[in-house]
Structure 1
């Protein structure tokens, strides 16, 4: 249930409830529309590259996906800079650089990184990671959502949400012509269970919303999914060169996965990511529950944010090693 910039600006002026209520009708009619980018034969495609070479893996995964939603557009790039802890706790700087270069090669008019960290101050995280220098070197913009003025935030109140009074979303996200998201592959010990593309949306909300989210242990995972109604990334890249299979989000048990994923569907990306964690051997919260029964995913399915079952996902690769692993992951997805 994602909305356009125009719809959200109208919603912010007072029509949000009607906008969200009408989304179910749009989803029903969407079944007769052509398949979106990144889809084929009614399935959502997730490209997979097995490699330890981050730069070439990103190039190959995005190229393989065969879509270009960024050409001639101003792109907002949303990373995982929750903290400045080393990858996979936060997005690797080489991932950011390689992805930016790829987006420029695809014809993006401009690229701006946007993020809100937490609990640390966003400015401290950006400084510690050297993001300002990276942005200057690559000639891209940088927006610290935490520095936005009060009118830089829009209060959204989705109908039937688990949020008591809605949540605040950074206006640059709502007004972005195109959003590209890049996430890590990791578990989340504080109630999220896992942190991939759906959980990435927490960084588009105001830090003041975090008290309610973190105090809502029973509803937290559903609330994470509900934030994702605010936007729809046109391209998602998951860097799984390494993963946290336990602990997280800032520190955890590391395992090498040597995989890069690209796609256009957050549910599909996270489902394949969970299949990778299951293959690596993860904690009870991951291993003991079927993938589409995970609450982030099941709630996202209820909201119509992407695929609704494992059979809707096609994992594909560009070499024998990748195809073999894609087949293995497809089996894990099917079994749950």
Structure 2
């Protein structure tokens, strides 16, 4: 479904007008139930707008907003966030009255500034009046040491002040496997791009992460550092093998939206399984996948598939939602 400019502004105002963000401590993240919108589509803009109509709208008037994309590399979607998805979210926030919109990330593969240029995001930012920030360019005073009590990180991680200060945090992620130890990369893994690669003393946090047998547990632990007001997963296309920058392509044709990272990632794993992903993502209970299991232990989201409510706006979407529920219930 295509939308006219007038339709877009009406939908954006509705979706961007009315849910308050609460800054809660980590122990308060967990919800007893989670509502996740699942929209069947092959159009990124259409999918984002329709998904946002099915979840609680955001209170954006006068707020500073962070939109955290997945700028892993300059490879085409689903390696990194699709430009139409990011643009639509920016326009929704602008229509909702956001005072300031910042798009920060740290690329997983290569130089973030180069990725921004090659993806055309510098031009997009200029056209839309937002800031795109390559996090590794921030000076040392713009980072804060953050402890993860009971975590597997060897030392405190560095978290950017600009994200810490934001009124609203939106995370938009892709749907793909991760051959470098993450196994899959969705909303939980998207948090890795928020923290520093290296400290002022040269300590390499990413070397520690990727060299640790606890990598997937450590990924989940980073999510205690913040609480997103909204997560949008663009699963119109996905990698079901390889990843994160290239792999075997599948076309689930869905966009998800919600606030619960555990629920979003659990549905994402179900979708990967429905499209032929291999081991280890294909084996065992979805809630026993290490990223998800640790996130549940930390109180970051729902504790079981039964607590996830999937809603859609079409017969095709409801059919996919039913198949996802069946996949979640296995094991």
Same fold (TM over 0.5): yes
Matching residue of 2:18: none
Matching residue of 1:260: 255
Matching residue of 1:269: 264
Distance change in 2, residues 1:69/1:268 (3 Å)? farther
Matching residue of 1:141: 131
Match of 1:237 among 232, 239, 248: 232
Matching residue of 1:179: 169
Matching residue of 2:214: 219
3-state DSSP of counterpart to 2:252: strand
CA distance in 1: counterparts of 2:274 and 2:248, whole angstroms: 15
CA distance in 2: counterparts of 1:157 and 1:68, whole angstroms: 29
1:226-275 residue CA offsets vs partner (Å, 9 max, x unmatched): 11111111001010110000000011100111100000011110001111
**1:80 and 2:70 equivalent?**
yes
TM-score by length of 2: 0.88
**1:289 and 2:279 equivalent?**
no
| 61-70 or 226-235, larger mean C-alpha shift | 61-70
CA distance in 2: counterparts of 1:70 and 1:247, whole angstroms: 37
1:304-319 to structure 2, matched below 5 A, reads 304-319=299-314
1:21-32 to structure 2, matched below 5 A, reads 24=27, 27=28
The RMSD of aligned alpha carbons is 1.8
3-state DSSP of counterpart to 1:276: helix
Deviation at 1:335, TM superposition (A): 1.2
CA distance in 2: counterparts of 1:69 and 1:210, whole angstroms: 34
1:94-146 residue CA offsets vs partner (Å, 9 max, x unmatched): 11111211222233222111111133111111111111100011111222211
Match of 1:249 among 244, 251, 259: 244
| 272-281 or 103-112, larger mean C-alpha shift | 103-112
Tell me if structure 2 keeps the 8 A contact 1:257–1:280: yes
Deviation at 1:289, TM superposition (A): 2.5
CA distance in 2: counterparts of 1:113 and 1:292, whole angstroms: 31
Deviation at 1:166, TM superposition (A): 2.1
Aligned pairs, number: 305
Match of 1:128 among 91, 105, 118: 118
CA distance in 2: counterparts of 1:62 and 1:71, whole angstroms: 17
Deviation at 1:210, TM superposition (A): 0.5
Matching residue of 1:228: 223
3-state DSSP of counterpart to 1:62: helix
1:266-319 residue CA offsets vs partner (Å, 9 max, x unmatched): 111000111111111101111113210011000010110111110110011011
CA distance in 1: counterparts of 2:148 and 2:105, whole angstroms: 22
CA distance in 1: counterparts of 2:284 and 2:74, whole angstroms: 30
**1:328 and 2:323 equivalent?**
yes
5+ residue gaps, structure 1: 8-19, 36-41
- Structure with greater helix percent: 1
| 225-234 or 168-177, larger mean C-alpha shift | 168-177
TM-score by length of 1: 0.87
